[in-house]
Amino acid sequence: MNPLIIGAGVMGIAWLIKQLKDKDMNYEIDFLPVGNGSSSGDAIVVRYGENGDDYDNYKVMIIDGGTKDSGQALVNHIKKYYEVNYVDYVVNTHPDQDHTSGLSIVMEQLEVGELWIHQPWNYVSEIIHHFKDQRITEESLEKRLKDKFSASYALEELAIQNDVEIYEPYQGMEIGVFEVMSPSKDWYLHTLIPSFNKTPERRLESASMFDGAKNLVKNIFESLEIETLKEDGETSADNESSVILYTKFNDEGIMFTGDAGIEALKHAVDYYDREGVILSEKIYEKLKFIQVPHHGSRRNVSPIVLDRLLGKKGQLENKMAFVSAGKDAEKHPRNTVVNAFIRRGCKVCATQGNSIRQHHNMPDREGWNSITPLKFSSKVDGYDE
């Protein structure tokens, strides 16, 4: 018996009606390893369907494809374990190469139903006013965006070639049983796109500020009560643009976060709270599975946003958190981030070179063993190290 099984009916926020039917849903979530060991990326596939239904009717969704190698591994994985050669939904959370490249292999080798991807170049006339001081034309802005997001643009072209339907994942849209929680179209086009070339200032500031003081910030201690994670972490606009997906299987919340940062996670929880008025519940009461954002980087989560997502510190382990991290990636996941998830009731499991799986009522796989969750670390890196 897999101890990591989390109980699983389907419902997303927008699917109140579907919830009333309260079907028993089976599902599996696979995180494949990405990269050569020192780098990290995401290659995730989810399969779900109604208990008792034929597996052929189950839906398959890929969320990011990692590198070309992990894209190939995803294709092989789907053929071997799901015994199909199609994917219903392919989602590209954001345009970073380590999330996007592998999706081109998926598009080339599997039948794909829908591609979900941001296409900012389609909105140049709406957003050109943000770039006025840079004296660029609509044509040059379009070119600039296509160059900057070349891997995503290549996916779009591949989809057109292969007659795959393309949609843009913005807040409130449904992809299968999942709902997009962030980004909203407005925030994406008018805040994130104009900031895509900016590096978060804090990183530069703290690098110079702490250079001479490195030895002073070693040996930081944490306990279940003491947390050193900070509120003011910043990540890049392209990470913040990551698609955050949410659904409920059997009344338990499942969330995927890509490389989202604190702002995007706040947008997601705010969105849930708005709809939550109808449901009169908080997301932390339901969430049972979450992807640790951005491979466990500490600037992508904060105590306040984690309290809102997972509930306050000091809970019993009743949730699962998965993180995609390279086997030898020194900074992924950060121990202070792993601690923060453990404190709020999560078992945290990392890929670190292996495929990891969470499932409810799906076939056992030969040779797959139970995962050992990461341990709480009482000694952590200083926040600005």
Applying CB under 5 A, which residues contact Zn ion? 259
Nearer to Zn ion, 350 or 362 (CB): 350
Interacting residues of 161 by C-beta distance below 8 A, sequence separation 6+: none
CB-nearer residue toward Zn ion: 142 or 259: 259
Side-by-side strand order, sheet with 111-116 = 165-167, 111-116, 86-91, 59-65, 43-50, 25-31, 356-360
Minimal distance, residue 196 CB to Zn ion, in Å: 16
Residue 169 or 345 having the CB closest to Zn ion:
169
DSSP-based three-state secondary structure for 16: helix
Q: With contact defined as beta carbons under 8 Å apart, do 319 and 358 qualify?
A: no
Nearer to Zn ion (CB atom), residue 176 or residue 258: 258
Q: Residue 247: which of 308, 183, 176 has the closest Cα?
A: 176
> Considering beta carbons, is residue 179 or 259 the nearer one to Zn ion?
259
Q: How far apart are CA 6 and CA 23, in angstroms?
A: 16
Q: If residue 122 lies in a helix (H) or strand (E), which one and from where to where?
A: none
Cβ 58 to Zn ion, closest distance in Å? 28
Q: Is 182 left (phi over 0), alpha (psi -120 to 50) or beta?
A: beta
In the complex, the smallest distance separating the C-beta of residue 315 from Zn ion, rounded to whole angstroms, is 28
Q: Which residue is nearest to Zn ion (CB)?
A: 259
The 10 Å Cβ neighbour count of residue 130 is 15
C-beta closer to Zn ion: residue 200 or 311: 200
- Residues contacting 328, CB < 8 A, separation 6+: 37, 38
Task: Report residue 130 as tokens.
Answer: 């943000």
Least distance in angstroms from the C-beta of 250 to Zn ion? 30
Q: How far is the CB of 82 from Zn ion (least distance, A)?
A: 25
Minimal distance, residue 64 CB to Zn ion, in Å: 8
